[in-house]
């Protein structure tokens, strides 16, 4: 039986991908280990919330995620195990490798972050927009209107 570890943090984002994975020919002979990766709680929030309240929120969040995502994999006929990550993912994977005794395949279906290392990362649709502007006539028209505005301001100020 093949073992696949799947990282999840957003069920609606991952459902189409899970659907395609569950329809693979070997899906019925697969042991799916679904690891819920809860969002981090900021330092400012964690000062005001107790550890018990944080754990309760994390458990409720994971239950909702599993309720939305697991039925897709369960329909494939394979074995499905759910797990809530309570630490760094590297430690979780090492723990799973020792428990399962195999080298499982790891699939990361977490939603990509919009910010990476303090710099904003543009969405694919946002990256395609400037190319469309440069290909058309809007950029030269903008440049001409700015130059005209500059000449007008120069005449007014003199």
73 & 130 share domain: no
| HEC profile of 52-100 | HHHHHHHHHHHHHHHHHHHHHHHCCCCEEEEEECCCCHHHHHHHHHHHH
pLDDT of amino acid 132: 44
Task: Report how far apart, in Å, the C-alpha atoms of 33 and of each of 7, 72, 107, 131 are.
Answer: 9, 13, 10, 42
Range of the domain at 150: 124-157
In this structure, the answer to whether residues 76 and 130 fall within a common structural domain is no
Give the DSSP letter of residue 28. Answer: G
Q: Are residues 94 and 129 in the same domain?
A: no
36 and 71 part of one domain:
yes
119 lies in some domain: no
Residues 149 and 92 in one domain: no
Assign residue 59 the CATH number of its domain.
Answer: 3.40.50.620
Same domain membership, residue 87 and residue 54: yes
**Which pLDDT score is estimated for 102?**
72
Asked if 65 and 98 sit in the same domain, the reply is yes
pLDDT at 141 (0 to 100): 64
> Which of the pair, 6 or 147, is modelled with greater confidence?
6
Are 47 and 73 within one domain? Answer: yes
Q: How many CA atoms lie within 13 A of 6 on its CB side?
A: 29
Total number of domains constituting the chain: 2
Q: Do 3 and 31 touch, CB atoms closer than 8 A?
A: yes
Do residues 94 and 19 both lie within one domain?
A: yes
Q: How confident is the model at residue 66 (pLDDT cuts 50, 70, 90)?
A: very high
Domain co-membership, 44 together with 90: yes
Kindly state whether residue 116 falls inside one of the protein's structural domains. no
Mean pLDDT of 70-87: 87
More confident residue, 115 or 99: 99
pLDDT of residue 20: 87
Whether residue 60 is predicted with pLDDT greater than 90 in this model: the reply is yes
Q: Is residue 79 part of a domain?
A: yes
Instruction: Give the mean model confidence (pLDDT) for residues 31-56.
Output: 83
pTM above 0.85, yes or no: no
Q: Tell me, what's the pLDDT at 129?
A: 41
- Give the lowest-confidence range in 23-27, 50-54, 60-64, 153-157: 153-157
> Does 95 map to a domain?
yes
The single residue listed with the structure tokens 């994975």 is 21
Give pLDDT, residue 25: 82
Whether 79 and 130 map to the same domain: the answer is no
131-156 per-position pLDDT tens digit: 444 445 565 666 666 666 666 666 66
Asked whether residue 91 falls in the same domain as residue 128, the answer is no
- Is the CA virtual torsion 121, 62, 98, 25 positive or negative? negative
């Amino acid at each position: 039986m093949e073992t696949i570890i799947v990282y999840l943090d957003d069920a609606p984002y991952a459902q189409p991908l899970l659907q395609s994975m569950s329809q693979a020919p070997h899906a019925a002979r697969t042991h799916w280990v679904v690891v819920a990766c809860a969002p981090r709680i900021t330092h400012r929030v964690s000062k005001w919330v107790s550890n018990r309240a944080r754990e309760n929120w994390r458990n409720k969040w994971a239950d909702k995620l599993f309720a939305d995502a697991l039925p897709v994999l369960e329909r494939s006929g394979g074995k499905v195990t759910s797990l809530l990550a309570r630490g760094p993912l590297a430690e979780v994977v090492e723990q799973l490798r020792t428990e399962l005794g195999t080298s499982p395949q790891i699939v990361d279906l977490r939603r990509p972050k919009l910010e990476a290392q303090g710099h904003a990362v543009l969405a694919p649709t946002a990256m395609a927009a400037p190319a469309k502007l440069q290909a058309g006539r809007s950029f030269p028209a903008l440049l001409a209107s700015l130059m005209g505005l500059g000449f007008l301001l120069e005449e007014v100020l003199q």
